[in-house]
Amino acid sequence: MATRAESTTNEMPEILARGPWDLSQVTTRWRAEHFEPSSEHTREADAEIAGLQERGSPSHDGLAGRLVDFKDGPLGIELEMQPLRWALRLVASDASHSVAALCVTRAADGRWLAGRRAAWLSSWAGRWALGAGGAVDLGENPADTLVRELHEEWSVSPERIRGEALVKLPHRLVMFVGQAWLPEGAEVTPDHEHDEYAWWPSEIDEWPREAEESLRRMARWLSE
């Protein structure tokens, strides 16, 4: 899931760690203490939430996860996380290392699931995105977030799934990226966060015009 900050910068994301990992190779340790933002960041988060409310968004504030540290080794990746305010991920200048999970989703024949995000959403409103994604809930393993978001957004479960990378966007939002393949003949049902969806061809060069360059770049990277 990209954000407004990503769409307005020419900086490239930083790959912190590269899989692939089986989901059993992704472990998470949560700190008890909450992240304390600066007063400036708190004001910016308050303003973002107020803006969502003004345009009728049902988004609500709460707690989510922040990346503190990670260890990547031959046996997998371990993430150290702590609770933080969900709205801090909306701060365009600095998302405070809030963690989101992105589950890029493919059909059994290699096609890519794409959905146009509803206009009320806090990120990528009205734009096309790949698969499913969202914030990591309090106490959750980002590997589990991949499966949860796929089920919540598309009412489907993967036949196989793996973690692909830990990525930091220029405005310090951290994304745990995974890739899922659906069973043969699987049917998806979009949730209220999508107002349209499509299966884009397995060949990325054949994608429609609405497929932004950032999506094509990610798909090519995952296909390597």
Other C-beta atoms lying within 10 Å of the C-beta of residue 208 = 10
| Residue scoring higher pLDDT (112 or 11) | 112
Contact predicate 172/94, CB 8 Å: yes
Query: According to the model, what pLDDT value does residue 73 have?
Result: 94
Residue labelled with tokens 């054949």: 206
In the chain, % of residues over pLDDT 90:
82
- Domain ranges within the chain, ordered by starting residue: 4-107+129-183
pLDDT digits (tens, 9 = 90+) for 114-163: 999 988 877 778 899 999 999 999 999 999 999 999 999 999 999 999 99
Question: Does a cis peptide bond (omega within 30 degrees of 0) precede residue 74?
Answer: no
| Residue scoring higher pLDDT (224 or 35) | 35
Query: According to the model, what pLDDT value does residue 41 have?
Result: 95
Cα–Cα distance, 168 to 186 (Å, whole number): 32
- Average confidence score pLDDT of the chain: 92
What is the rounded average pLDDT of the residues 96-101? 97
Query: According to the model, what pLDDT value does residue 223 have?
Result: 92
How far does Cα 97 stand from its chain's mean position? 13
| Residue scoring higher pLDDT (31 or 125) | 31
Other C-beta atoms lying within 10 Å of the C-beta of residue 74 = 5
Instruction: Name 69's bridge partners.
Output: 80
Across the chain, how many H-helices and E-strands are there? Answer: 4, 11
